[in-house]
């Protein structure tokens, strides 16, 4: 929720066309539009050793929810995105939803409710 009027000259915000059907307002200081997923899917930032990440991936696969997994230790620049979303912490799993919002270590129920 934005508490002030937005205009096209606002340096913190950009309007990005993610598809012909929708436009989403994103805070570009937090999430790179490259990682905002299509409707019905999520982007998950993870590491290879994270047990919470492995559990969420298992649950998503079992429920047939599509996701893109991005290992922040192997993909340059993504650890910084996770830090920005999590107040300077590299906390995973960090999930990005189609509306550009994020959640840290969400439950399967939360993921389902936000898709």
> Domains (ranges, CATH) in the chain?
32-114 (3.40.30.10)
Q: What is the pLDDT of residue 34?
A: 86
pLDDT of 103 strictly over 80 = yes
pLDDT digits over 20-73, tens only?
323 333 343 446 788 999 999 999 999 999 999 999 999 999 999 999 999 999
Instruction: Report CA-CA distances (Å) from 68 to 1, 22, 43, 87.
Output: 26, 20, 5, 23
């Amino acid at each position: 929720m934005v508490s002030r009027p937005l205009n096209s000259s606002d340096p913190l915000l950009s309007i990005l066309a993610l598809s012909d059907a929708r436009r989403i307002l994103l805070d570009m200081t937090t999430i790179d539009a490259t990682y905002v997923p299509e409707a019905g899917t999520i982007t998950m930032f993870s590491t290879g050793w994270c047990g919470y990440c492995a559990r969420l991936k298992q649950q998503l696969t079992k429920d047939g929810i599509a996701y893109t997994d991005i290992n922040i230790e192997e993909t340059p620049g993504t650890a910084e995105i996770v830090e920005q979303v999590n107040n300077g912490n590299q906390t995973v799993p960090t999930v990005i939803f189609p509306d550009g919002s994020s959640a840290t270590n969400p439950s399967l129920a939360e993921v389902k409710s936000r898709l």
